[in-house]
Amino acid sequence: MTIQAQNYELGKVTIAELKEKVHPKDSSAPAAILFKKGRTYFGYNKDVGFYANHVCEVKIKIYKKEGLSWADQKVRFYIGYEKLNEDRLEFSEAVTYNLENGNIVKTKLDNQGTFKNKINQYWKEKTITLPNVKVGSVIEYKYVLRSENLGKFPDFDIQFNIPVDYFYYKTQIPEFYIYKPILIGGIPLETESKFTNGSQSFDNAYSQTSSFSYKQIETFYTGKDVPALKEEPYINNLENYRGSIQQELERVRLPDQPIKDYSLTWEGVAKTIFKDDSFGKQLNQASLFTDDLNKLLPNVEDKNERLNLIFTYVKNRMNWNEINSCYTEKGVEKAYKDQTGNVAEINFILINMLRAAGIEANPVLVSTIQNGLPVYPTRTGFNYVIAAAEIDGKRILLDASHKLTAPNILPLNVLNWKGRLIKKDGASEEIELDPIILSKEIYSLIVKIHPDGKMNGQGRIQHTDYDAYSFRVENNAKSEDAYLEKFENRLGGLSVSNYKIENQKSNLDQSVIETFSFDSSSRSDIIEGKIFVNPLLFFTQSKNPFNQEKRQMPVYFGYKNLEKFNFNIEIPQGYTVESLPKPVRIASEDKKMSFILNFSATENKIQIVSQKEINSSIFAAEDYRMIKEFFQKMIVSQNEKIILKKI
């Protein structure tokens, strides 16, 4: 072992630590975790048997004003158990250290510093605010979480948005419990396991002290110099990549009891969820909707038309209470009557109505982007449910909880990993959520350039599929004036008039189409009587969004996308084209990214066609260099000029 754990103890703060002005390895860090130590060990009492204690000790140095928020520490704990006592959490040894006149001054947190906050029926949170924290302070605290939940330990995070100088985590687990450690985030660490002796003392039913001994597996994990986890452009959920140590219970083999196997498959998880009354039973309620369906579908034979009418009806009638869940809370019947419900209630109403209308429909379990990528099968791996209908062998994915969705257009945070479709008998299959079709943005412009370099003309922009959905989500709450102001600024101060938009708030399965006229006062440079024009005019990109040297995380574009520009440019009278940039064609090796830029000129007209295609919603971090170079070449080509000269 290269690192001695005993050097890292609470209460041992040095003058050198308090004097340190910047982090030695990351001068931009507003604060740093000098160490984080954790220990998980088991206790025992006669009423509940074994339970777990999770102890955590943390020491933090504040370097800058932005780091002062680390004085507030929050820890969540679970209270939503059906059969177990709720978790208990206690903070202690919370101290702030400052240097005053060359002396170390300690300020302890008194009990007023802790407050509890109930987040929802499942979670509570305890918060402390350390006193007298300023730039230069060192703060420390400890907490103990006691939990009867041996199925899932809290994650031991080892990466944060500030650097971690050192971490140490030790588990002491009785031989009766077999856990599988799962390491997220690829942080280098040392680990070692050995058998040791363990024992428990407890008060028996006669208030006498009893004890027993057993073998235990002692494992430690240690590492140092963990870099800060930083936001990068095009990322789905930073939490998916945070370095952490997780423990999954695989098997319990208590003496004189049958072995219990907990290592589930995703199919097993789906079956367990299906059997729950607030899931399977709620999907057999089709008869509740017969009367309303008869009114809604008089003489409508076509199944696609039936689906569209039912889907629109449920979206309009039901209002989502902003709770994501695979399970109903008040049940389908009450939610329908109240016209509000969680995601499961609204989409189960949809499934019941589709089934009652003779359309095959089933629930699909999903993990949203915020819930993370489920690394291994657990019941909390899924937190959302949508509907899948099938007509003539074609599958249509639907989510009626969000007002702006359309058939096969789901909320963006649902496009994560894969879904699990559950059939009526509880059997299940994995299905792809990633959209197959390319969403498109097509820009068509007719432009006239004047001798003074000014331009005017007409434009049309078409947004299809997910690009149309994203446009509606972003802009539906804005007034037209507010949107146009943003639109004009984005295009470098164009002046837009005669603006019209189609299908923004209705016909949600259709493209959004914007048409407008425009005037631009400053889009071309005039040098020595020549006019220099950017080929993509005011849509020219000048900055590469990918500017880091390296990247730790995958690059996430959300969905496959095609962006196309068709420009017809009329040049001023008395001018001719002196030169056009060379046509460009770039493609990645696997053809998942491509870009073309083509020019043709006849008499007083120039035609420009540009097309960028991104054919995958997510790229591995190993592809980062390729993506960076692709964008760089594309931007360089967009910034070469068309040159017009006087005849």
pLDDT (mean) for 308-334: 97
Among the ranges 101-115, 166-180, 371-385, 522-536, which has the highest mean pLDDT value? 166-180
Give the chain's domains with CATH numbers: 23-261 (2.60.40.3140), 266-432 (3.10.620.30), 439-646 (2.60.120.1130)
Would you say 455 and 519 are in contact if contact means Cβ atoms under 8 Å apart? yes
Q: 45-59, 106-120, 194-208, 450-464: lowest mean pLDDT where? A: 106-120
Q: How far is CA 635 from the centre of its chain?
A: 28
Q: How far apart are CA 274 and CA 283, in angstroms?
A: 10
CB atoms under 10 Å from CB of 450, counted, come to: 14
Q: How far is CA 321 from the centre of its chain?
A: 20
Whether 475 has a pLDDT exceeding 90, the answer reads: yes
Closest CA to 355 of 406, 323, 391: 391
Residue matched to tokens 């177990």: 84
Residue matched to tokens 């969705």: 405
Q: How far is CA 316 from the centre of its chain?
A: 27
Q: How far apart are CA 585 and CA 565, in angstroms?
A: 15
Quote the pLDDT of residue 123: 83
Quote the pLDDT of residue 4: 44
In the chain, % helix, strand, coil (3-state, to 5) comes to: 20, 40, 35
Q: How far apart are CA 114 and CA 73, in angstroms?
A: 10
Q: 241-250, 495-504, 606-615, 626-635: lowest mean pLDDT where? A: 241-250
The mean pLDDT of the chain is: 94
pLDDT (mean) for 294-320: 97
Q: How far apart are CA 354 and CA 309, in angstroms?
A: 10
Whether 35 has a pLDDT exceeding 60, the answer reads: yes
What are the phi and psi torsion angles at 174 (to 5°)? Answer: -55, 145
The number of CA neighbours under 13 Å toward the Cβ of 240 is 20
Residue matched to tokens 């048997």: 49
Whether 2 has a pLDDT exceeding 60, the answer reads: no
Kindly report, residue by residue over 478-493, the tens digit of the pLDDT: 999 999 999 999 988 8
Kindly report, residue by residue over 257-287, the tens digit of the pLDDT: 999 988 788 898 899 899 999 999 999 999 9
Q: How far apart are CA 575 and CA 606, in angstroms?
A: 12
What is the β-pairing status of strands 584-587 and 260-261? unpaired
CB atoms under 10 Å from CB of 311, counted, come to: 24
What are the phi and psi torsion angles at 303 (to 5°)? Answer: -65, -35
Kindly report, residue by residue over 436-461, the tens digit of the pLDDT: 999 999 999 999 999 999 999 999 99
pLDDT band at 521 (very low <50, low <70, confident <90, very high): confident
Whether 505 has a pLDDT exceeding 90, the answer reads: yes
pLDDT band at 1 (very low <50, low <70, confident <90, very high): very low
640: amino acid identity, one letter: E
Q: Is 372 left (phi over 0), alpha (psi -120 to 50) or beta?
A: left
Q: How far apart are CA 538 and CA 209, in angstroms?
A: 81
Kindly report, residue by residue over 569-612, the tens digit of the pLDDT: 999 999 999 999 999 999 999 999 999 999 999 989 999 999 99
The percent of residues in the chain predicted with pLDDT above 70, rounded, is 98
Q: Is 205 left (phi over 0), alpha (psi -120 to 50) or beta?
A: alpha
pLDDT (mean) for 22-30: 97
Quote the pLDDT of residue 161: 95
Quote the pLDDT of residue 14: 95
Quote the pLDDT of residue 112: 60
End-to-end CA distance of the chain, in Å? 80
Determine the 3-state secondary structure of 53 from DSSP. Answer: strand
DSSP character string of 622-641: GGHHHHHHHHHHHHHHHTSP
Quote the pLDDT of residue 3: 43
Quote the pLDDT of residue 113: 62
Quote the pLDDT of residue 523: 65
Q: How far apart are CA 214 and CA 198, in angstroms?
A: 5
